[in-house]
Amino acid sequence: MIGNTRWPSSPKTIRRRGYFKGIRYDTVWIPSQPLNTSVEQSKDLLYSLSSDQNSHPLHSPSPNPREGEKMAIRHLLSLARRAQRRTAPSIRSFSTSPAVASSPSPSPTSPNAMIYDRLAESVKHKLKQLENPDPRFLQHNSPHPTLADHTPILAAPLTRVTTLPSGLRIATESNLAAKTATVGVWIDAGSRFETDDTNGTAHFLEHMIFKGTEKRTARELEEEIENMGGHLNAYTSREQTTYYAKVMEKDVPQALDILADILQNSKFDEKRINRERDVILREMEEVEGQTEEVIFDHLHATAFQYTPLGRTILGPAQNIKTITKDNLQKYISTHYTAPRMVIAASGAVKHEDIVEQVKKLFTKLSTDPTIASELVTKEPAIFTGSEIRIIDDDMPLAQFAVAFNGASWTDPDSIALMVMQSMLGSWNKNAGGGKHMGSELAQRVGINEIAESMMAFNTNYKDTGLFGVYAIAKPDCLDDLTYAIMYEMSKLSYRVSEADVTRARNQLKSSLLLHIDGTSPVAEDIGRQLLTYGRRIPFAELFARIDAVDASTIKRVANRFIFDQDVAIAAMGPIQGLRDYNWFRRRTYWLRY
């Protein structure tokens, strides 16, 4: 439309020719509908520029001719904008009409074309911002995560689960590149399912399970494992018992046969039982020398007093001396049932082969449909704000743990508590560091040298949990240390920075990944998650849940579990300088230092 531009003829074409600042041009309109008044005014205004400026009302005499030109252009643009809003189809047809330029000389652009050029540039700029957002807004992860790439999910190893008619679950994660495998049985049974009279039976059974079966004597069992070059082990916790074997790829069927044999055909010889009593009593003496184990046993005993979780795993010495063969067999028939078992395998295994072998080997298990959750509902664990103090001046260092009632495995806030545990962190004098650690609590402890070690903990159970801090310190440092611990925990309800939350999230994800390095940790993760969640949570989902925790989430969860809540305290050693219970209780809502 500018200069000597040639336009295609059209019956609807409206032409206006004029001169502006010494340049000749044609104005061409190709409307798709009748032009409105604003567009006509803009045409007249544009035509008026070709005549004397003083001949148009908008171009009254002015001391500066250029000022009049600017006024006319501004008015033209305002009219064109109004026309563009009301007659977008007309203007669009004009802006997109074909034209062949015969002269490369520069010419002014149509006002309407300029508008659409500006709109196009604005849209391009917005799209560019979306594709390349400002990194300042990405320094923290989004509290509402989105998954742009599904590769981590598709590339993750597949966990296959098969449930037999008896209720027995079989879960495997194959890694055909591995040369070893771990196969084990995870059972939803532990010390919380005992009674006061039978407390210690689950752990006693763990010892007796390897003392011979109807097919294998204890010696034959040990030699068979040794000849395979394998590793057979077991452990008992408050809610779960595990028996597992780590062997070479070719020995997986034999390992499964051994596990099925010891769980279904164990012989509890009276002589073996009496001999094992002394072994367990010696083990109890060794555990009593591990102060951390003792502190947490006392913490459970006071926090869950008179409830199943308050019992110890090993049981009292009096029960160990009186447990009989009938107690062991009754515990197996009651709690070692198919619906409460998970057979997990990882490494050099094939799911179909494991399923076929399990069908042939595990045929004597009870199919009692009672599950652990029903037993927990009948006898729930109840948290009680309380304390237990054992003064022992012969100990060189004081030790204590302060805990709040925590979340269960399936509580939606359990992930946030895991992040809070990472925020509080841990510190050890022998490990060095501390002054430059991310955790503010670790910094306080390291800079002021008020502890030998400290660590935050978060323990989950089926219906409850414990969240707190365990610390070891010199007697004269207890006052400063307790101030620092309670201040940092209470501060989670008031002031939380996104930088601290981001650091804690990254540390948590890193520790979770490092924890499953190897076939045994993977099998343990599979078995534990199937017992607690009923499925294995993919890491992509778990990490998305972790990334969803932000500063506001931390403050909300801290207000639920920490702010003005009862605490449980267990302490032992030279603890005369440890503050009383009421002081700790007040610090759950006083943010003073």
Q: What's 142-173 look like in SS3?
A: CCCCCCCCCHHHHHCCCEEEEECCCCCEEEEE
On whether residue 142 sits in a domain, the answer given is no
Q: Residue 466 burial (CB < 10 Å; 0-12/13-18/19+)?
A: buried
CB atoms within 10 A of CB 160: 16
Helices 498-515, 539-547: inter-axial angle, 10-degree rounding = 160
User: Quick check: 47 and 27 in contact, CB under 8 A?
Assistant: yes
**Structural domains in the chain (count):** 3
Q: Which residue has the tokens 């992040």?
A: 419
Q: Output the pLDDT for position 288.
A: 87
Task: Check: CB of residue 112 under 8 Å from CB of residue 38.
Answer: no
pLDDT value at residue 86:
53
Identify whether residues 377 and 395 lie together within a single domain: no
**Any idea of the CA torsion for 97, 103, 105, 106, to the nearest 10 degrees?**
0
Q: Do 113 and 179 reside in the same domain of the chain?
A: no
The predicted pLDDT at position 142 comes to: 46
The answer to whether 578 and 396 are in contact (CB under 8 A) is: no
pLDDT of residue 114: 64
Largest CA distance in the chain: 125
Contact 155, 561 (CB under 8 A): no
Same domain, 115 and 214: no
Strand order in the sheet with 398-405: 386-391, 567-573, 398-405, 465-473, 453-460, 426-428
Question: Taking CA 235 as the corner, what is the angle to CA 229 and CA 240, rounded to the nearest 5 degrees?
Answer: 135
Quick check: is 82 in a domain?
yes
Residues annotated catalytic, as ranges: 206, 276
CB 530 within 8 Å of CB 551: no
Alpha helices in 49-139 (DSSP H): 65-86, 88-95, 111-131
Instruction: Give yes or no for a contact between 53 and 135, defined as CB atoms under 8 angstroms apart.
Output: no
Of 106, 326, 126, 298, the C-alpha closest to 208 is 326
Distance CA 586, CA 486 (A): 10
How far are the Cα atoms of 314, 447, 467, 522, 575 from residue 570, in angstroms, in the given order? Answer: 19, 26, 13, 33, 11
124 φ, ψ to 5°? -60, -40
Q: What is the token pair recorded at 404?
A: 């709040």
* Segments of the chain scoring below 50 in pLDDT: 1-63, 65, 87-106, 133-145
Amino acid 440 reads: E
- Measured CA to CA, the distance from residue 208 to residue 324 in angstroms comes to 11
Residues 213 and 277 reside in one and the same domain: yes
Residue 540 lies in a domain: yes
Give the H or E element holding residue 383: none
Residue 247's pLDDT is: 95
Are residues 407 and 345 part of one domain? no
Tokens matching residue 206 = 């763990």
Q: Are residues 210 and 90 part of one domain?
A: no
Note whether residue 152 is domain-resident: no
Structure-block tokens of residue 384: 């009680």
Which residue has tokens 């240390």? Answer: 481
CATH number at residue 543: 3.30.830.10
Residue 360 sits in the same domain as residue 397: no
Structure-block tokens of residue 526: 């599979």
CA gap 158, 38 in Å, rounded: 67
Type of residue at 188:
D
Which pLDDT score is estimated for 43?
45
3-class DSSP state for residue 484? Answer: helix
Residue 111 confidence (pLDDT):
55
Same domain, 119 and 234: no
Q: How far apart are CA 69 and CA 515, in angstroms?
A: 75
The Cα–Cα gap between 9 and 421 comes to: 77
Quick one: CA dihedral 487, 491, 497, 500, positive or negative?
A: positive
- Chain-centroid distance of CA 345 in Å reads 24
- What is the reported pLDDT for 29? 45
Last residue of a domain, one of 338, 355, 382: 382
Domain final position from 360, 382, 404: 382
The verdict on residue 200 lying in a domain is yes
Which residue type occupies 438? Answer: G
Structural domain of residue 351, as residue ranges? 168-382
Give the Cβ contact number of residue 320 at 10 Å. Answer: 22
Does one domain contain both 448 and 560?
yes
Q: Are residues 103 and 201 in the same domain?
A: no
Same-domain pairing of 455 and 543: yes
What is the tens place of the pLDDT at every residue in 328-387? Answer: 999 999 999 999 999 999 999 999 999 999 999 999 999 999 888 899 999 999 999 999
Domain-located, residue 348: yes
Residue whose structure tokens are 């999910």: 153
The per-residue pLDDT for 104 is 46
331: nearest Cα among 168, 529, 192, 221 = 192
Whether the CB-CB separation of 168 and 343 falls below 8 Å is answered with yes
Q: Give residues with Cβ within 8 angstroms of 463, minimum separation 6.
A: 376, 380, 381, 408
Cross-strand pairs, 400: 471, 571
Residue pair 461/239 in contact by the 8 Å Cβ criterion = yes
CA angle 254, 255, 259 (to 5 degrees): 120
For residue 304, report the phi and psi dihedrals to the nearest 5 degrees: -120, 45
pLDDT of residue 53: 42
In a domain, 161, yes or no: no
Which two tokens mark 391?
Answer: 């003064």
Asked whether residue 107 is domain-assigned, the answer is: yes
Residues 326 and 394 placed together within one structural domain of the fold: no
The residue among 331, 355, 382 that closes a domain is: 382
Q: What local confidence, expressed as pLDDT, does residue 310 receive? A: 95
